[in-house]
Structure 1
Amino acid sequence: MLKTLSTAIFWIAACALPVSAAAQKHPKPRKTAAPATASAAAVGSSVLYATRPEALQFADDLAERRDLDREWVRQAIGQARFLPQVPKLMLPPAKGTAKNWRVYRSRFIDPVRIRAGTRFWQDNAEALARAEREFGVPAEIIVGIIGVETIYGQQMGNFRVMDALATLAFDFPAAHPRAAERQAFFQRELEQFLSLTHRTNVDPFEPRGSYAGAMGLGQFMPSSWVRYAIDFDGDGRVDLFNSPADAIGSVASYFVAHGWKPGMPTHYAVQFDPARLQLDELLAPDILPSFSPASMQAKGAVLDAAGAQHAGPLALVELQNGDDARSYVAGTENFYAITRYNWSSYYAMAVIELGREVAAARAAARP
């Protein structure tokens, strides 16, 4: 999915994690005695991955692939701790749990986030305007992302990223319907994280993030940090924890790499003609834009005037509301681009609507 970006994105110096003075050298191994058992899940959070032969074999393979110091990688992985709560958080909701867009929306579009978003936009208006100018991603979309992800830096996560990634790399819950695929993903993320921290002289146990290992104001996974994060404030490094400008530019960079089209709306209103409606066919591609406006309308989806003139494919996006009637919009390629940040149409709509609400509150506050 990686597309060509400015070479600045791949400049190693610009991919540095924020480093404290105490972490300027490679971390020395912690002299912690390893528990006797080899089963992390059986013992709990006191277990170090030094007790797990498969984890140390992974460390050896990683060191060889990445040309990293073998002992440094073994000790980093060996000192990571199993977090028993993390695998539980990765399991999908129980079957039969009804999705509800209105409830989901209320979690993110609320006075706290709107006020925080207004302050964030005011404080970072120049960086947001420059990102919109250079990347074509509207300021309100960037504001929506950072607000949904972390309430503008208020909730960036308190898990040690090293522990979270190791737990999901070696103890991803087998009950998950895509357990093998997801575990492989987190093994790759652990590899990216260790490679990044090694070359930038950061203690891998210093960064804190989400239970899935996402970091900073925009909650970038390690692979996204390496591929898409940019130094937008011009200080020679990337700091997604403490530099709102870097976070703003990096979110915009991510969207451009995932197909954002400047000037295109995210979605249009849609209604149905019951006599012609072919709902199953319209929903079959899920949220992937697959229909021209004409073909969508031929299947009974009635677009508003702007949607009928849209140049490009559309998708019928369905949002459940519990037991109430479902909501629908016609999503564009930009709506789909937002779902590449988080693969959920509910998430994308929350981002869009939070950004709009913050923009409206900001406009209303002007003299």
Structure 2
Amino acid sequence: MNFRVSYLASTLLIALLLSACSSTSVQQINPTETIVNQSEDAAAEDRFNQNLNQLITQIAQTQGIPQASLESGFSDAKTIPSIRKLVLPPSGNFKRNWVAYRNRFIEPVRLKAGKAFWEQNQAFLSKTEQESGVPAEVIVSIIGIETIYGRQTGNFRVKDVLSTLAFNYPDTPNKASREQLFKDQLQELILMCWTEGGGSLPAKNSKQGLSQTRFNACLNQNSSYAGAIGLPQFMPSSIRSFAVDGDGDGHVDLKKSPKDAIASVANFMMRHGWQPGMPIYFPVQEAAISEARLLADGEPQLKYTIQELIKNGILTNEQGDLQSGGVELQSKALIVDLPYPDKDGNDQVRYVVGLNNFLTIVQYNRSYFYAQSVAEFAEALGYKNQSIATITTSKAQSETKSVGPSKSKSKKSANKKKQKQT
């Protein structure tokens, strides 16, 4: 994802790397140009090497990994000056543009690739949806927006990216917090590679080592300019926490295994609170745009009940699932603002009501633009953005919701699986 294109707020920028992935790169850079040592000066390079060596020593002492193996793995680590430019926030006169962002990702090439990916993995996607409750269209949408199903997974060595951002982050107000986040990701990468290698899922406290060759290969794998790996663009910490073996070969490979990528995306969404059978968003009533504007504060929090939004005219009883009772009146939502300039350069904003599942997508990439694009990409693939649940007026029947056969199984399975994992 491109966090240069869209921000929710400055607080979201700080929290970005706590999500699954960090960036879908839209700027292509020749990797042969970036892996060459282009340090701004010798002093900066010395500081880089010193800080990296300190971290290596610390990890060797605390994790029981031979320091010689770590030093060998990072002997050719380089700073990448272009990375520092890519993570800079936009300039002061930058205007967020929802329309341009949407058109970049919801377009014929990705949609065609999405349909092909779905056809190739239809049986496994159906199985995953039944077990997790996460719709196949949403899973396919995320992988398509992230990398066009593996076509764009990044051209940088992940150890160079994370080392650069951990020890040579550009001078920004949040420099210290950002460097700490990337130091943590660098340690997660080391533990991941030492335990399993090649982007596999490790046990967090395992000290089992692998051959130096495999360890180095894992450190040298390609990533985005922020260190995200594979088809779903998971950061190392998310690989260790949420990646799963979808194809059953005993090894998690997010770069080459579509089944591993599909299962891992579903697991991430489920573990972050996806509600099976519930919609992602509702359109705001045109007559209530001014009311929606007052409630849109940019904070990713579910603040307003559906009942309050109906009272304010932002939603209606007849809209979406409210009439059938699939979405409870006391469930909470947020107002999502999607700004863009019109053809004359005037500022415009589209508003939608984001539900719990919208916020779950935001946990994957902390951008309203991203979450809404995922929802609309999924709709373009056939996703019905509505509740599958209905409630009758009968007291006896109201206690047992009538759910379609495939979704009923998926919801029970997802709830059961989530309880085990949490």
TM range (shorter): 0.7 to 0.9
Match of 1:336 in 2: 359
Preserved CA contact (<8 Å) 2:48 2:167? no
Preserved CA contact (<8 Å) 2:362 2:371? yes
Whole-angstrom distance in 2 between the partners of 1:121 and 1:55 = 42
Question: Which runs of 5 or more structure 2 residues have no equivalent in the other structure?
Answer: 1-36, 197-209, 384-422
Output one character per residue of 1:228-270: Cα deviation in whole Å (capped at 9) or x when no partner.
0000111111011111000000000000111111111000111
CA RMSD, aligned part only?
A: 2.4
Match of 1:115 in 2: 112
CA distance change for structure 1 residues 246 and 129 in 2, over 3 Å: closer, same or farther?
Answer: same
Partner amino acid for 2:304?
A: F
Partner amino acid for 1:327?
A: R
Identity %: 37
Alignment of 1:226-241 (within 5 A): 226-241=240-255
Output one character per residue of 1:298-351: Cα deviation in whole Å (capped at 9) or x when no partner.
445234523645222111101001234311111011000001110001001111
Whole-angstrom distance in 1 between the partners of 2:223 and 2:280 = 29
Alignment of 1:321-360 (within 5 A): 321-322=340-341, 323-359=346-382
Whole-angstrom distance in 2 between the partners of 1:126 and 1:142 = 14
Give the TM-score of the pair, scaled to structure 1: 0.81
* SS class of match (1:41): coil
* SS class of match (1:277): helix
Match of 2:177 in 1: 181
Output one character per residue of 1:54-112: Cα deviation in whole Å (capped at 9) or x when no partner.
22111111222222112222333342110110011111111121111111111001111
Preserved CA contact (<8 Å) 1:273 1:302? no
Match of 1:41 in 2: 40
Whole-angstrom distance in 2 between the partners of 1:67 and 1:121 = 43
Preserved CA contact (<8 Å) 1:150 1:219? yes
CA distance change for structure 1 residues 248 and 274 in 2, over 3 Å: closer, same or farther?
Answer: closer
Match of 1:214 in 2: 228
Within the alignment, does 1:289 sit opposite 2:302 as a pair?
A: yes
Whole-angstrom distance in 2 between the partners of 1:293 and 1:181 = 36
Preserved CA contact (<8 Å) 1:109 1:354? yes
Whole-angstrom distance in 2 between the partners of 1:113 and 1:278 = 32
CA distance change for structure 1 residues 350 and 240 in 2, over 3 Å: closer, same or farther?
Answer: same
The alpha carbon displacement at 1:50 in A equals 9.3
Match of 2:282 in 1: 268
Output one character per residue of 1:160-183: Cα deviation in whole Å (capped at 9) or x when no partner.
1111111111111122x3222111
Alignment of 1:118-137 (within 5 A): 118-137=115-134
Output one character per residue of 1:141-170: Cα deviation in whole Å (capped at 9) or x when no partner.
001100000001111111111111111111
Preserved CA contact (<8 Å) 2:129 2:135? yes
Q: Of 315, 320, 343, which residue of structure 1 is paired with 2:334?
A: 315
Match of 1:194 in 2: 190
Within the alignment, does 1:246 sit opposite 2:265 as a pair?
A: no
Match of 2:166 in 1: 169
The alpha carbon displacement at 1:40 in A equals 3.7
CA distance change for structure 1 residues 49 and 167 in 2, over 3 Å: closer, same or farther?
Answer: farther
132-141 or 283-292: which moved more?
A: 283-292
263-272 or 330-339: which moved more?
A: 263-272
* SS class of match (2:336): strand
Give the TM-score of the pair, scaled to structure 2: 0.71
Preserved CA contact (<8 Å) 1:118 1:358? yes
The alpha carbon displacement at 1:274 in A equals 5.5
Preserved CA contact (<8 Å) 1:319 1:328? yes
Match of 2:54 in 1: 57
Whole-angstrom distance in 2 between the partners of 1:41 and 1:351 = 39
Partner amino acid for 2:53?
A: L
CA distance change for structure 1 residues 51 and 171 in 2, over 3 Å: closer, same or farther?
Answer: closer
Preserved CA contact (<8 Å) 1:272 1:300? no
Partner amino acid for 1:62?
A: I
Question: Which runs of 5 or more structure 1 residues have no equivalent in the other structure?
Answer: 1-34, 361-367
Match of 2:28 in 1: none
